[in-house]
Amino acid sequence: MTAIRFYTPLFLLVALWQAAAMGGMISAELLPSPSAIISGLVHLASGGDLLTHVGVSIYRQMAGLLLAVIVGVTLGVGMAQVAWVRDVFEPVVRITYPLPKSALIPLLILWFGIGHNSKIFAVFLGCLLPVVVSAFNGTRGVNGQLVWSARSLGTRGIRLLWKIYFRAALPEILSGLRIALALSFTLLVSSEFLIARAGIGYLIQSLGEAGDYSGMFAGILIVALIGFTADRLYVKFMNWMLRWQDQG
């Protein structure tokens, strides 16, 4: 089924919404019509600031996510393979796992204030654990005979880690990353709502405070679309990387 056909009910809903708005059945203040939102969007885009705000947000999110991936995969694989690493870090992981990472945002505000770093670290800390856990589980679950086969074919030491363990753990790492990606959006938007001078979250808040509700809705729509697109692109990337799994 093509995407258009699949999302038809969504389009119908939007059409219904537009009709209801035009028929005066919905308060224009509380729920702007789709057309009002679109014009709000256009207004924002033509203003020139939009790109800056979106760019800032994406920069913060990517920085935090990249940090989480690099540190998280290293830590997860290290914990799975090296006993002392596991002994040192597993208690820390276990203790911090139940803490909702959004609770760290006030602390990050205290430490980093209003600038980029509070958001970057919010994303980093929030996404770290899912990555560590999936890297750990993925590496632990590697079929021992794969490793033996590689060793009998001449692979040794660090090379074994990179060529075999990492590749074999990749499916699990990649699905953990998908979760981390979604989480990164939540943490970015949350922290930008709470304290920021720039960014799409800040933009949405200030539009709302200024009473420009179609603008506010437009901003939210942008966030939704970015999140949706990012996930879709990631799934494509994941399927490409794991094309060898395809059962055909």
Window 107 to 166, contacts with other proteins (CB under 8 A) = 107, 109-111, 133, 137, 143, 145-146, 148-155, 164
Per the rule left: phi > 0, alpha: psi between -120 and 50, beta: everything else, 28 is alpha
Q: Which is nearer to other proteins, 14 or 22 (CB)?
A: 14
Q: Which is nearer to other proteins, 25 or 94 (CB)?
A: 94
- Burial code of 21-39, b = ≥16 C-beta within 10 A, e = fewer? beeeeeeeeeebbbebbbe
Of the residues 89, 117, 161, 212, which one makes contact with other proteins according to CB under 8 A: 89
**Which two three-digit tokens encode residue 74?**
């290293």
168 Cβ contact partners less than 8 Å away, ≥ 6 residues apart: 138, 139, 142, 143, 146
Q: How far is CA 189 from CA 16, 56, 82, 192, 199, in A?
A: 29, 12, 36, 5, 9
**Site membership for other proteins, residue 73 (CB under 8 A):** no
Whole-number minimum distance, CB 110 to other proteins, in Å?
A: 5
Q: Which is nearer to other proteins, 46 or 153 (CB)?
A: 153
Of the residues 21, 44, 68, 216, which one makes contact with other proteins according to CB under 8 A: 216
From the CA atom positions of the chain, what is the Rg in Å?
A: 22
Of the residues 47, 55, 91, 141, which one makes contact with other proteins according to CB under 8 A: 91
Which DSSP state fits 162?
A: I
Q: How many CB atoms lie within 10 A of CB 55?
A: 13
CA distance 176 to 125: 15
Q: Which of residues 35-64 bind other proteins (CB under 8 A)?
A: none
**Site membership for other proteins, residue 232 (CB under 8 A):** yes
Whole-number minimum distance, CB 221 to other proteins, in Å?
A: 9
**Site membership for other proteins, residue 8 (CB under 8 A):** yes
Q: Which of residues 191-210 bind other proteins (CB under 8 A)?
A: 193-194, 201, 204-205, 208
Of the residues 87, 115, 237, 239, which one makes contact with other proteins according to CB under 8 A: 87
**Site membership for other proteins, residue 248 (CB under 8 A):** yes
Of the residues 71, 168, 212, 238, which one makes contact with other proteins according to CB under 8 A: 168
Whole-number minimum distance, CB 55 to other proteins, in Å?
A: 18
Of the residues 131, 180, 188, 218, which one makes contact with other proteins according to CB under 8 A: 188
Q: What is the helix (H) or strand (E) element at residue 24, kind and residue range?
A: none
Between helix 213-241 and helix 167-194 the angle, nearest 10°, is 170
